[in-house]
Amino acid sequence: MDYNIIILSISTLRKQVDKCVGRWGDKKITYYSQLEPVSRMLIEEKGNIDEVLAICTTKAIEKTEFSEEDGESNLVMSAYDYYVKRINGAFPNNGIKFTQCPSNAFDEKNEIEKENAIVEVARYILNKKNDIKKLDPDANLNIWIDSQGGTRDVNMLLNAIISTLRLLGINSKGIYAVNFYNKEGTVINQTSTYQIIDFVSGINEFTLYGRAESIVRSENNEFKGFLFEKTWNK
């Protein structure tokens, strides 16, 4: 049986957490945690999410006091614990494993700690893949990415993790974010955007080292032709 993991980075909390509306397709939900919409969409549509791997900075696991708009007041917990609480509240008895990674939260301003976080997340995913294959050689590890959370620095780190996993032969099944305006968040599929970035990186790999794997993965032939033309006919 396949194993499905959501990878996301935890956002910090404000003193008051807004009550928002989330949408995907014909579905409409009320939510508070910034990371709820994509997770809830994937859990409902895929039906068998086994684990959520949460990338946490020191601020993401720091307990803070906050209130919900039109909801609970004087809550004291970390942003990570609040996300878990909200998902478990929406899906009781879901059986999902929530894993904080790296095991020791990192300081997003410390470059060495950020690099170590990339290594730890990639190693965790690679070990998970190997463990699954030992139990069932036909099983697949499916990675789903929520690129919404975290600061800009942490989001760039998430991009580095996605690229590292690709180098290890582990590609994401889907990459999602939320288009947010006026307390309404619509889930959007960003997979094709990341494929374009991957292809442009592949052109650089091919030019420098003769590696063509990233180029072959792209399905956009028009885009391929444009970059080949502009790269080699200077």
Domains and their CATH numbers in the chain: 3-191 (3.40.50.10640)
> Closest Cα to residue 36, out of 26, 23, 47, 45?
23
pLDDT of 194: 54
Strand partners, 189: 176
3 vs 150: which has the higher pLDDT? 3
Which residue is associated with the tokens 């009550």? 19
Q: What is the pLDDT of residues 116-145, one digit of tens each?
A: 888 898 899 999 999 999 999 999 999 999
Q: What is the DSSP pairing of strand 172-181 with strand 184-189?
A: antiparallel
Span of 7-16, 51-60, 182-191, 198-207 with lowest mean pLDDT: 198-207
pTM, rounded to two decimals: 0.82
